[in-house]
Structure 1
Amino acid sequence: MNNKATKLVVALATATVFVSGCQTLDPYTREEGTSQTTKGALIGAGIGAVVGLISGDDAVERRQRALIGAGIGALAGGAVGAYQDRQEAALRAELEGTGVSVARMGDNITLNMPGNVTFATDSADLSPAFFDVLNSVGKVLGEYDKTVVEVAGHTDSTGSEDYNQSLSERRAASVARYLNAQGVISQRIITLGMGELRPVADNGTPDGRQANRRVEITMVPITAS
């Protein structure tokens, strides 16, 4: 097995180990998802490899400090969870029926936007169907501005690893530019590309590749250290 295949097998196996047996039916999407209790128990055990924040605490904390210094107030104590509860409810209401899933891990909220919603194959140009979705996301992010926003691009395994890395970065940048044009200030946004290294489905099937061609947007509350 070559190095590329080995990486993908390990990543997919990790996702399978941590998610299997921990599924509940999401009343919003009518799809299976990981329960809030299970997510909390698995935060320290690798579930972040499947969904949620990628860029790491240091990058987020640096951005939080800069935003607080620029005059955006920080959340504290019980206000953090309550704020994210309201934002999550607003996102679910805005995105119902779009094919975008909303996941909660602790105080972070992640939107998973699959390939049939976001980009055409081998393109970093936003699909027309994606505009309304991003308009809705931008509206909520404007109303709930006390968050750092991580935009992560992902691809399937078609093509070379280097090409897919570049494509995922360009896709994340396209989403960030659009959100910025909708009024989300650039200082809140962290972009990164993950290429093909974090699959959520089997790249051996068309449906699996479509699921892996995705954008994930994670909202992290701005809190004082």
Structure 2
Amino acid sequence: MNKSFRLTALSCAFMIAAGCSSQQMQDFNATVNDIGKNYGMPVLCGAGMIAGGVTGYALSGKDGVVAGAAIGGALGCAAGYAWQSRLRELDRIAQEENLKITTEQLTLAEPTVVTAVPQNAGLVAQIPDTGMFAIGSEQLTESGQRVVTKLAQVYAKAQTTDQADVSKELQSRRILIVGHSDATGPADLNQKLSERRAQTVGKVLVKAGIPATSIYYQGAGSSRPIADNSDLLLRGQNRRVEIVELANEQALVMRAQSEEGNTRYLRYGASDTAKPNMAASKSAGQPASSPSKVAGSQKITASQATAKQSLPDTNVAKTAPKTKPAVDFGGSPADAYQWNMAQNIKPKASGFALISNAYASDMPMSSCEADKPRSAGQVLSMANDKPLERHATKEYMPGYNNRVWANTVNGHLVTVSPVSILRDNAKVDRQPILQVVQGYKSSGQKKAQTLKAVANTYEGESEVLYRVFASDPKASVSCMDLVFSKGNAKVSQGALFYPSGSEAYVASYMPIPATNSK
């Protein structure tokens, strides 16, 4: 392996904050596998010594450096051997079966934090579903049975070299199997099918001797795409089985939480229909219809909205729709709109030092118009099919406890309520409904159009992307993207998409929370 290339890749890992390019980080991901297979033990021996020395110095000053380096080096060597051995076994199966198995090492972002999870918390392996299952079925094909059996035999082995620790490792270890699908067909059916397929793989692992109490499975359906679903040649990459080997149950919980609402999966939409190109490059700046700020003094009551519309500051010339929309929100063609809301959201720290998060902000992201509602199933135990215990709370994120949010768009009042977001992973507690009152300020009593909706959330460090889809495809509003601040109840960016014939249009939408009238 070329030493200068290794140095560049490793430098990117240590300089994530400085910002390596997307291509550099992708090169690093590809190189990690080679390093692990060929140099896993020496690399982690050295990394362990460095981490141990730093920790020793932090705890005991100079006197603690040598002892810390020795302990860290020993732990690093053991982890390096395990990593190297597992990757070689997976690589052997990939070559025998002509598969492209990709792997990702899970390490703690802050090894000095007191936790029951070891520094090297686990290994993620993505196995493509190239004929692994019969079409529309959870039954393994002949070749699929052969591949999964080989994988099960690999994971049935302990990674430790110390026989005294074999039993302890196997008892604490957890394996998570996640089924993924492309976006063709109904999302609910895809989720359920992917769940049954993950369970099928789990049964083969149990047959290989892995305790059912150590195995968990999940159906993510089409909610976590890694390729463009609208491209016939690429969408097949989304059909895959993910096997995550984790050090213990706490690491399993961390992994499950880090994947929920992860902004990295916004790079590709969950729609199998080609949409207008609304992805923005980093140099594109703000969206073409970047909204101006709403004055903080504006108030809206639940029965009467008095706020003025936040007009878009747009560089795109507005053109009259060829077909008159059901409600004219005064927007611009969506294919000329540069959407980069998620691109500006800093991914939330998950506890893991995930390489993919390092360049998430450097990737183009899809808007809600190129997406559809996403749904992932719960993490279930192979032993009893019960959900993984998460100790989640029902506390709401401040300002998002079932409030009404509204504002006018081109004279029409648009309301989304309730906005219900929990503290725990910014989950949606109650699904919202949308209401549209046309010509809100004109004389006469206006009847609101009520639209059922589904919301998804994606959590960053300081912001949450709240994505809402109208359930009726013929509704006057298709979807909306709202970026909520976690520090205060406020929208920093917002866009409303609506149909006009076969075309999609977009307008700025900056709702503010309503206050209850007395």
The aligned amino acid for 1:119 is F
Per the alignment, residue 87 of structure 2 pairs with 88
CA distance in structure 2 between the aligned counterparts of 1:190 and 1:88, rounded to whole angstroms: 22
- Aligned equivalent of 1:219: 245
Specify whether residues 182 and 207 from structure 1 end up closer, same or farther in structure 2 by C-alpha distance, changes over 3 A only. farther
Whether the 8 Å CA contact 1:92–1:102 is kept in 2: the answer is no
Report the structure, 1 or 2, having the larger strand content: 2
- Does 2:163 align with 1:167? no
Give unpaired runs (5+ residues) of structure 2.
1-19, 34-73, 108-119, 160-168, 252-518
Q: 1:20 to 1:97 in 2, by over 3 A?
A: farther
The code of the aligned residue for 2:91 comes to R
What 5-or-longer segments of structure 1 have no aligned partner? 1-17, 26-32, 38-75
- Cα distance in 1 for partners of 2:198, 2:237 equals 16
* Identity fraction in percent: 28
Deviation for aligned residue 1:214: 1.0
Distance of aligned partners of 1:109 and 1:186 in 2 relative to their CA distance in 1, 3 Å threshold = same
Query: How far apart are 1:85 and its partner, in Å?
Result: 2.4
**Residue 183 of structure 1 aligns to a residue in which SS?**
coil
Task: Output aligned runs, 1:1-225, within 5 Å.
Answer: 20-21=22-23, 22-24=25-27, 33-36=29-32, 77-78=75-76, 79-98=78-97, 99-105=99-105, 106=107, 107=120, 108-144=122-158, 146=169, 147-222=173-248
Please report the RMSD computed on the Cα atoms of aligned residues, expressed in angstroms.
Answer: 2.9
Q: Which amino acid aligns with 1:210?
A: G
Preserved CA contact (<8 Å) 1:124 1:170: yes
User: Deviation digits for residues 61-99 of structure 1, max 9, x if unmatched?
Assistant: xxxxxxxxxxxxxxx933334323222222222332421
Offset at residue 19 of structure 1 (A): 9.1
1:207 and 1:129, CA in 2 relative to 1: closer, same or farther beyond 3 A? farther
Q: What is the TM-score of this pair, normalised by structure 1?
A: 0.63
Alpha-carbon contact 2:176-2:217 (below 8 Å) kept: yes
Which amino acid is the alignment partner of residue 102 of structure 1? T
Cα distance change, pair 170–218 in 1 and its aligned pair in 2 (3 A)? same
Q: Check conservation: 2:182, 2:225, Cα contact below 8 A.
A: yes
Q: Is the 8 A contact 1:113 1:215 kept in 2?
A: yes
Provide the rounded CA distance (Å) in 2 between the counterparts of 1:159 and 1:167.
11
User: What secondary structure is seen at the aligned counterpart in 2 of 1:95?
Assistant: helix
Contact 2:181 2:222 in 1 (8 A): yes
How many correspondences in the alignment?
163
1:173 Cα offset (Å): 0.6
Q: Which structure has greater helix proportion?
A: 1
How has the CA–CA distance of structure 1 residues 224 and 217 changed in structure 2, closer, same or farther, with 3 Å as cutoff?
closer
Conserved 8 A contact 2:123-2:245 = yes
Q: Is the 8 A contact 1:202 1:209 kept in 2?
A: yes
